Structure formats: structure tokens, C-alpha cells
Chains A and B, each alone.
Chain A
Amino acid sequence: MLPADDLTNRARNQFFEKRRKVFPRQIDGPFRRFKWLVMVVTLTIYYASPWLRWNRGPHAPDQAVLIDLAHRRFYMFSIEIWPQEFYYVAGLLVMAALGLFLVTSAVGRAWCGYTCPQTVWTDLFLHVERFIDGDRNAQRKLDDAPWGPAKIARRLSKWSVWLAIGVLTGGAWIFYFADAPTLFHQLITGTAPRVAYATVFVLTMTTFIFGGFLREQVCIYMCPWPRIQGAMLDEQSLVVTYKAWRGEPRSHGVKRQLEAASLSPAGDCIDCLACVAVCPTGIDIRQGPQIGCITCALCIDACDEVMRRVGRPPKLIGYTTEVDEELARAGLPAKSPLRRVLRQRTIVYFTIWAAVGLAMLFTLGNRERLTLDIAQSRNPVWVRLSNGEIRNSFTIKLSNMEERPRRFIVTVDGIKGRLWDESRGSDQSVSALAYDVPADQVATHSLYLAAPDSGPQQTPILIVARALDRDGGQAVGKARFERPEESQ
């Protein structure tokens, strides 16, 4: 009753289930061509990004995209992020999540079908497989064939190509974390750090296993995303649908001819199973929407080709929404795509997504590339000097977040006092201290501030750091000057 390829038709009374191998057939069509394009674009971005150069002057790396873990810096074109600015990365992740929500509510599981790395690399591996083993039927035959020299040769060559792709994939990954040309040279000459080789190995193996063997199992059993996505789809979401009202009753061969002769209404589906044959996850879309469908749309290409051949209108399988499907069944025109996309849910997602993005852009554009952190010494809180004055001490951290050395002037507002630091004595006190901080570095200094002992127990003060260069800039920190209780 249930077709053999039904994903959910499981062997009964079994503790585990053997995986049914999927041998998707090659197909050509508009969606396939679009997938090619997406594959080229995404893989190019992945492999080429680390090689892009970006001039940041002599004090910073010239790699456009670089996650410099050793120095705790993240470079992305003109943006440089310090660890304490990690909220920008968090913001990017929030945007990525919202972007996925937005895309899902607008065009369904497009992420799964076109751009997910699992999909892209599996697709790539499938093409390699077809190139070496032939198409669906040849692959099947080879799989059933007993092990012999020919089969071993084919398997070995297939796996080597897969492994080579895996090595390239893992290799490209580590280039994001170090200067790509240098690391490439090190990798080739065997002088790269061990962790680099280990990372390449791990990523090679995961690529090899996930792309070559686990494939749709990753989507169905390992990936959390389909479950979340399933919850986000509604009757307005685009999903790949088999239009049962058009296709049923399906029939083929003699039965179909008999039906045609008897003028009993035959559906458009000729039960050729082309849609099942091309499906990379091996499901039958005619059973309705299901978790195994990643909406890669290859079955649409396959069925359209069949429909053209049998002279029926295309899109027996097509991207459509539940609402449109109802309308179409009733013979009414579908809703305009614009109205479908611009509905409440997508607008809300888009608004939040854009708000996060704009807020980040705004703060990025206005952030001060100088920060001042102050830690007041509490041990001891105050020190009495020989002339009776009270001294407080502070540890200040001056971060020069620009990629050039800068000079900062540090002063104190809010109290009449004398200032000095760890490099001099109280007899050399000044009213302002100057520090040269190297490019992209933090300078830590002890600040000593002395004031007469008569005064309130706590005096609020401001410690101000000013940059002495063409763009200026300043950072202000609040602190307190503390006196002993008895001297009030």
C-alpha cells in the first residue's frame, strides 16, 4: 500500500533501521541551474575570502577577513573588533538568526535547499559521484556488484576526490584564523602549528563523512534547524507541493490507456517516479509536505520535463503556499506574490532584523577607538603622605584601538590634587600625564592622586584621557577620591 521509498515506512519489530541508500538522478532545469549558481557563489565566497587583502597600515594585518585568536582581534574589511566588543559578533548572530526566520517565512526552507553547507557540499559530492560512477542506475548497479578490481578502483578514485575536496575545505577554514599566504606556505612546507593540521584533518573527515555518506541523514536526524523551521512555516509559506488535485488519480501504462479510452478522468501524474528518482533525500513528495524535503526543487525540474513531454501544463509539482493551493483548487487566481511576502510576520521579522543592523551600523560608526578603564585600589584605600596629604591610587587601562600609535593625556577633574604614576615619585607630581600607546594595544598604568586630607570622605572625580592627534577623541571614567573617616 505504501510505496517502497516512503521515508516513514519503517521496518517493523526492529531495534535499528538500516539506511536506504539514495541515488539521486541527474536532472537539468531552471532550479538546477539556479542551484549551480548558488553553489559557485557560496563556494567562491568560502574559499576566496581569506585571500582578499585589505590595507590597514603597517600596524595591523592586511587580511580582509581575519579572526586573530592569538591577539584576540577580529578583522572584517574596515571593521576591527576587540574582545570586549564581542556584542557586535553577537549582533551579527542575532541578525543571522532573524535573517533565517525572515527567509523561511518569505520563501520557505530556501536555506536548506540552496545555501546550507550540508546541501552545497553534498551536492558537490553527488556530482563527483556521478562523474565517476555514472548516474542513478549505474550507481545502483555498482553498489550491488560484488567487490572486484573495477569496483575498488572506482571507490578509491571517488573517495580520493572527496578527500581532496575535504582537505581543501578544512584548509580554507584555517585560513580565516591566520595570515592565509603565510599559513599556506607553512602548511605546504610542514611547518604550520600542529593545531592547524589537526583542524584540517578533523574538517576533512567531517566533510568526507557528512558529504559522502551521511548526507540526508544529517538533515533528518542531526540538524535542529528543520524542526525549528517546521514550526515557522504557516499556510502562507512557500513549500514544494505536489498538486494532488491535479495529479490524482495517478496512473500509467495499460491502466492509463484504459482510463483514457473509458474517458474516466485521469490525473496528470503518470506515476513515472521521476520526482522520487531525482530527490537527494530520497523521499516521495507526492505524500505531502514532510521533514525530509529540503525544498531543493529538483523534483519540480524533473516533473516539469515529464509534463512537457506528455503535453500537460507544467508545475504539477511546484513552489506554492497552502492558501494559493486552496484558491487554485477552487479555480481562483492565486494571491499576488508581493502580498504574500509582505505579510505581518515577514514585516515584523524584517523590522527587527533591520533595527539590529542599523543599531550596529550606528554604534560602529560612532564608537570611540579609545577606552579608559579605571580600577580604584582598595588595598589600601588611602595612604597618608609625609606632608599629611591623602593619596589614592588607581590602575588605569588605556586602550588604543586605532591602528596607529597615539599619545594620550590623562588628567583628573573634580578635585584639587597632584598627579603622578608608577614611574615617578610624589615629589615629581604633575597636573597631566602623557602616555604613548602603541597601535592597537592596551597600556596599564598606576595613577597616584594626592589631595589635602581635609575634605569630604568621598569626592566624586573624573579621570579624563584625551587623544592628541588629528581626530582627537576622549574617554572619561568616573571614580571617587576617598579620605580616612577621622579626617572629616
Chain B
Amino acid sequence: MGEGKHIDPATGTETVGHEWDGIEELDTPMPRWWLLTLYATIVFAIGYTIYYPAWPMIGGATAGLSHWSSRDQLSAEMKSESARRKPLMLALAQIPVERLPDDSKLMHAAIQGGAAAFRVNCVQCHGSGAAGGKGYANLNDDDWLWGGDLKTIYQTIDHGVRFAPDPATRVSQMPAFGRDGLLPPAQIGDVAAYVMTLSGAARPGASAARGSLVFAATCAACHGADGKGNRLLGAPNLTDRIWLYGGDRETIVETLTNGRGGVMPAWGGRLDPATVKMLAAYVHSLGGGEKFVPDAEPQGEAQAEAGKVPAPVKQNASR
């Protein structure tokens, strides 16, 4: 607009020159300090992008004078966290696993740590809720193939089940009675019928009666005469309501025919003892944990273990 400045008479301030229905906008000048503050923030922003990684380039962003990266920050944080947890891990390494319940603080920490380690290492087979699946044990219930006290759970996790590379692994074998021709199909059917009566899933009948004879001769060696299983052999209790592979007739016939032999890796080879202890504590805490009952001689064993120098932390100490 050419015809000079519009000055608002009431305030003496120049207007921007537009008018909307008689309303004009004042062109109030900014205070100088305000403007200087704005410039200062601009300078700061430029400095910031020089100091920190900021400007996008073709192969990435500028590194900035600070060479800061979120990855470095994370690893620094992990390092300080593992330093913070060092005393805990040391205490865990030293305590015999069955003594954990005596130290409720340590036990609590172990359960927490075990839950985290479980999510990383175990959920692939046992599920995120530890409820397992066909062939993978549900760790929430009160049925244990090899035993459910802290020490036994530790042993199972440490050395695995049917895990060939570990000489101390738990071994047992459910033979493939049908495939290997140990029992004819008719007898397999009879045994299945009998097994189903053990847990009350089926009524006794002629087939089951025949099966009971086969069972006594062939299966009782591992599963016991009463079918209650044998934890030393990892032979499942057939009288309860829990089935690793399935308790329906078809599945039982399949189990008898082809045998079963699930494998669990020996975690002692991959995780440090403290983490395995934490895993044992976590699994034990899921509601089915059993009380540790010392054998005749474990006193000396426990002492020997307590006196042992803690093994160096192998991995996972940061979790």
C-alpha cells in the first residue's frame, strides 16, 4: 500500500495496513530482548545440530562432534546395570539353589530375574505363560516328570533332557512298541484302554482287562505297577489328569506305537549358574513348586557347594 503508514490513534502504534470490518491489526514491535532471545535459540539450534548427530546424509546422518549414539548409551546403561547387579549375581552364584527360600529377598530377585531370562530363553517351547503345549511341559501345574523341587528343577534346566552333548543329561526312553514290533497293534489298543482307566477317563472293560496284563509285564517297569510313574526315569504318572502329549485314546495309541522322547537343551552350557538358578526359582514359583526334601547325604553336599568359589559369570549377567 502506497499511501503511507496507518497509525492507530488510540495507541499511537502503526497498523499492518489491512482492515477487516473496521478491525485493524496493530503492528506492535517486539521487545528487543525477545528478538535477541529468538536469535539465541536459533544459534543454539545450529550448535546443537553440530554437536549431536543431526543432518541426514546419503549414507546416514552426520556423527556430530559428540559422536553420541543411542546404541552406546544403551551399552553404557547395560554396563552400569550389570555392575549394579553384580552383588546379587554373586550371592546367587554362591547360594545352593535349594537354600534360596531361606533368603526371601534373594528369592524374590531370583524370581524376577528368572522371569526375564525365561522370556528370552524358554518361551519358544514352553510359551510366554509357561503353559507349554503338546510335548512341551506346562510348568504351571503340579505334575513333574523329573521332580518339582528347586534342586531337581535346577538339575533339569542345567543338564537338559535327552540332550546328547551333556553327559549328565536326564535320559530315559519310551520305546516305540508298535513301530519296533514289540507289541502287536491289538495289544497296543488294549494297553491304551487300560491306561485310560487309570485316570478315570474310561471305564474298565474286557480290552482294558487284557491291557492290564500287558501293562504289568511291559510298562510297569518304568511307570510302576500302579501306573503312578517314576521320577527317577522321568516316567509320567498315568493316573493323573495331566498329559504331556494328550490323554485321548488316539494320542495314547500313537504314543505307544511310536514312542516319545522330547528333548530339552542343557542350559548350563549356555547360561551362567546364577541365571539357571533364577530360572529354577521362577519355574518353581509358578504354583506347582514342591518342597525340597534333603536325602540322607545332602548335608555334606550342600556344604561342599556352599564352600565353592562362585563360577565366573558367563553371559546374561546384564539381564
Interface residues of A (CB under 8 A from B): 2, 6, 8-19, 214, 217, 221, 377-380, 383-388, 391, 393, 420, 422-428, 446, 448
Query: Could you tell me if A2 and B12 are in contact, using CB atoms closer than 8 angstroms?
Result: yes
Which residues of B127-166 have CB atoms within 8 Å of chain A's CB atoms?
A: 127-129, 131, 138, 140-143, 148
Query: Could you tell me if A384 and B35 are in contact, using CB atoms closer than 8 angstroms?
Result: no
Q: Which residues of A contact B289 (CB under 8 A)?
A: 422, 424-425
Q: Which residues of B contact A428 (CB under 8 A)?
A: 291
Query: Could you tell me if B241 and A387 are in contact, using CB atoms closer than 8 angstroms?
Result: yes
Q: For chain B, what secondary structure do more than half of its interface residues adopt (helix, strand, loop), or is it mixed?
A: loop
Closest 6 CB pairs of A and B: A379-B129, A386-B240, A422-B285, A380-B131, A17-B29, A448-B287
Nearest residue, chain A, Cβ from B34: A221
**Minimal beta-carbon separation of A397 from chain B (angstroms):** 13
B314 at the A interface (CB under 8 A): no
**Minimal beta-carbon separation of A379 from chain B (angstroms):** 3
Inter-chain CA distance A18–B5, complex, in Å, is 21
Query: Could you tell me if A383 and B29 are in contact, using CB atoms closer than 8 angstroms?
Result: no
B111 at the A interface (CB under 8 A): yes
Interface size on B (CB < 8 Å)? 39
B227-252 vs A, Cβ < 8 Å mask (1 yes, 0 no): 00000000001001110000000000
Interface residues of B (CB under 8 A from A): 5, 7, 11-14, 28-35, 101, 104, 107, 111, 127-129, 131, 138, 140-143, 148, 237, 240-242, 285-291
Q: Which residues of A contact B127 (CB under 8 A)?
A: 379
* A393-B140, A422-B285 known; A10 vs B28 contact (CB < 8 Å): yes
Query: Could you tell me if B30 and A16 are in contact, using CB atoms closer than 8 angstroms?
Result: yes
**Minimal beta-carbon separation of A475 from chain B (angstroms):** 22
Inter-chain CA distance A423–B100, complex, in Å, is 10
**Minimal beta-carbon separation of B305 from chain A (angstroms):** 22
Inter-chain CA distance A16–B35, complex, in Å, is 7
**Minimal beta-carbon separation of A216 from chain B (angstroms):** 11
Inter-chain CA distance A221–B241, complex, in Å, is 77
Q: Give the contacting residue for A426; candidates B7, B32, B33, B287; CB below 8 A.
A: B287
Q: Which residues of B contact A13 (CB under 8 A)?
A: 5, 14
Query: Could you tell me if A386 and B12 are in contact, using CB atoms closer than 8 angstroms?
Result: no
* A386-B241, A428-B291 known; A16 vs B31 contact (CB < 8 Å): yes
Q: Give the contacting residue for B12; candidates A9, A19, A221, A426; CB below 8 A.
A: A9
Nearest residue, chain B, Cβ from A14: B29
Inter-chain CA distance A391–B140, complex, in Å, is 9
Query: Could you tell me if B129 and A380 are in contact, using CB atoms closer than 8 angstroms?
Result: yes
Inter-chain CA distance A214–B36, complex, in Å, is 13
Query: Could you tell me if A380 and B7 are in contact, using CB atoms closer than 8 angstroms?
Result: no
Q: Which residues of B contact A2 (CB under 8 A)?
A: 12
Given A377-B129, A387-B241, A448-B287, 5 extra CB contacts under 8 A: A386-B237, A386-B242, A387-B240, A423-B101, A425-B287
Q: Give the contacting residue for A425; candidates B13, B32, B288; CB below 8 A.
A: B288
**Minimal beta-carbon separation of A15 from chain B (angstroms):** 6
Inter-chain CA distance A19–B111, complex, in Å, is 65
